[in-house]
Structure formats: C-alpha cells, structure tokens
C-alpha cells in the first residue's frame, strides 16, 4: 500500500508539489492526471526515493520514504516513459539479470524470475540477443521485465506510453492491468484521458502541484454532470489557472 501525507517539494521559490495526500491500496490503479509540469513526475520521483521531499512524507508498505529509503526501493518497481535506458551492448537477459543483482537477488531466484518473465512477455526468441537493434516494442518488454524481476508489490508508472506506437503502448497497458491482477498497488501518471479512463480505478487530478479533484471516473462525471472527462478537466484547470 502507498500512503502519501502532505507531500511537498519546492525548487527555490517554486512549489512543484504542494501538500498532496492520497492512498493507493493493493490491487488498485490510481492515476495522476495532469498537464506537463503539473507535478506528476516530481511526485513519483519522491515516492521512488529519487528526490527528497521538502515537506510531508509517504510510506510504501509501511516503510517511510525519508527514514527508510533502502527498504522502499526494494518494494517498488519503476517504469518511466521516454528512453528506456537499456544497455545496448548487453543481451536482454543480461540487462534483466543486472537489475536483479542490484536488488540483491540470489542466482537461483534470478533465474526463476527471468524464466517466468520470458514466458509472460513472450521474449524467448530474442532473450539472448543484444538489445541495441531491438524494436521499440521489444525494448519496452525488456524494460518491463527489468522493472519487476525482483517481484515488487508496488509499481510506479510515469507516462510509460509516451512516444510509443500503438503496439508498444498496448504492451505497456496490458502489463499495467496484469500488475493489478497480481494485486500490486499501482500509481500511474498520464495526460491521456483515454488511458486514464481505461486503466484507473481512481484518479487524482493535479494542477500546479495541487490536487484539484479525486475519485472514480464515474463519480467525478456524476459530480460535474458530464460524460466527457476532457471537458471536466479543462473546467477544473481553467478555474484554477489564475490561482
């Protein structure tokens, strides 16, 4: 479970994240919805212990991100959008194995986990080939395997389909739904209304570092008397642009 309590991050005079609070339960996908620069990535980087909060805190499976960052890192898997950051001169298996070793897995645990991921992601044909000449979809599968080789219970996705074609995007979306099926707690950031509506159990609409609205898609539509999430989002953002 993820519990975020008054989480805040300032960069000099700018509050990128302004005292936000929400929870994510096991088997639940919570989407952070907002424009670029809304504070989504900063929030996820704090949860991943890549950035230290200015104020507030959060816990991942009862491990505090400030007091026990090492334990937190062992509980989470991360998949960010953009460049997947694989080592081109290593094979797919070697890339995945390297991250398993970073997470302190034994040789037998690593082999069992990689064998499972090869089957789950249908990578048998290219698992022992160097990734430098892989297609974007093939690289995305390796990045997915790398993110869960240590069997984390919490997943953080930061616009994971950014820049991907339809096929590669569907691979990622199906993987996110598989994580839900496996009872993981999932935080998913996006500025795509279609993705958020398809994948998320609840959404948190964030703008200029503040939470504007939170709830299920259906409940938010009922509250604002509209079936169009894009219209609702624009209404909320427009009302808060000068504030």
Which stretch of 36-40, 50-54, 68-72, 161-165 has the lowest confidence by average pLDDT? 161-165
Residue 47, CB-side half-sphere exposure with 13 Å CA sphere:
36
Q: Which two tokens stand for residue 21?
A: 């609070």
CA 8 to chain CA centroid, Å, is 19
Cβ atoms of residues 137 and 168 within 8 Å: yes
216 has pLDDT over 80: yes
CA 18 to chain CA centroid, Å, is 20
How would residue 171 be classed by pLDDT, with cut points 50, 70 and 90? confident
Average pLDDT of the chain is: 91
163 has pLDDT over 80: no
pLDDT reported for residue 83: 61
Task: Specify the CATH number for 2-239; select among 3.40.50.300, 1.10.730.10, 3.30.70.3270, 3.30.465.10.
Answer: 3.40.50.300
Distance from C-alpha of 39 to C-alpha of 47, rounded to nearest angstrom: 12
Check the CA dihedral 172-220-1-27 and report its sign.
negative
Taking only the tens place, the pLDDT of each residue in 114-161 is 999 999 888 999 999 999 999 888 888 899 899 899 999 999 998 888
240 has pLDDT over 80: no
Output phi, psi for 20, to 5 deg.
-95, 150
Collect all residues with Cβ–Cβ distance below 8 Å to 32 and sequence separation of at least 6.
Answer: 38, 40, 43, 44, 187, 188, 189, 190, 203, 204, 206
81 has pLDDT over 80: no
**Average pLDDT of 158-171?**
83
pLDDT reported for residue 175: 87
pLDDT reported for residue 134: 92
- State percent of the chain over pLDDT 70: 97
239 has pLDDT over 80: no
User: Starting from the edge strand earliest in sequence, which strands make up the sheet with 202-207, in order?
Assistant: 76-80, 154-158, 185-190, 28-33, 202-207, 210-215
- State percent of the chain over pLDDT 90: 69
Collect all residues with Cβ–Cβ distance below 8 Å to 163 and sequence separation of at least 6.
Answer: 81, 82
How would residue 190 be classed by pLDDT, with cut points 50, 70 and 90? confident
Distance from C-alpha of 97 to C-alpha of 167, rounded to nearest angstrom: 26
Domain boundaries, the chain: 2-239
Collect all residues with Cβ–Cβ distance below 8 Å to 209 and sequence separation of at least 6.
Answer: 9, 15, 16, 17, 18, 20, 38, 39, 42
4 has pLDDT over 90: yes
**Average pLDDT of 163-171?**
82
pLDDT reported for residue 243: 54
């Amino acid at each position: 479970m993820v519990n975020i309590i008054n989480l805040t991050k300032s960069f000099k005079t700018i509050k990128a994240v302004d005292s936000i609070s929400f929870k994510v339960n096991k088997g639940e996908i919570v989407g952070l919805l907002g424009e670029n620069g809304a504070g989504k990535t900063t929030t996820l980087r704090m949860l991943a212990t890549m950035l230290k909060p200015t104020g507030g805190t959060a816990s991942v499976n009862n491990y505090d991100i400030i007091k026990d960052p090492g334990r937190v890192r062992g509980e989470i898997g991360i998949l960010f959008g953009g460049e997947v950051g694989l080592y081109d001169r290593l094979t797919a298996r070697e890339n995945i194995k390297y991250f398993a070793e970073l997470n302190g897995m034994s040789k037998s645990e690593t082999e069992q986990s990689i064998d499972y991921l090869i089957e789950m992601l249908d990578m048998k044909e290219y698992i022992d080939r160097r990734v430098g000449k892989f297609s974007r979809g093939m690289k995305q599968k390796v990045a997915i395997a790398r993110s869960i080789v240590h069997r984390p219970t919490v997943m953080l996705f930061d616009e994971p389909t950014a820049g991907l074609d339809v096929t590669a995007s569907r691979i990622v979306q199906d993987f996110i739904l598989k994580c839900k099926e496996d009872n993981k707690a999932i935080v998913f950031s996006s500025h795509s209304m279609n993705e958020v509506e398809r994948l998320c159990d609840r959404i948190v609409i964030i703008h200029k570092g503040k939470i504007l609205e939170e709830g299920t898609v259906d409940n938010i539509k009922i509250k604002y008397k509209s079936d169009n999430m894009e219209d609702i989002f624009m209404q909320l953002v427009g009302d808060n642009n000068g504030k």
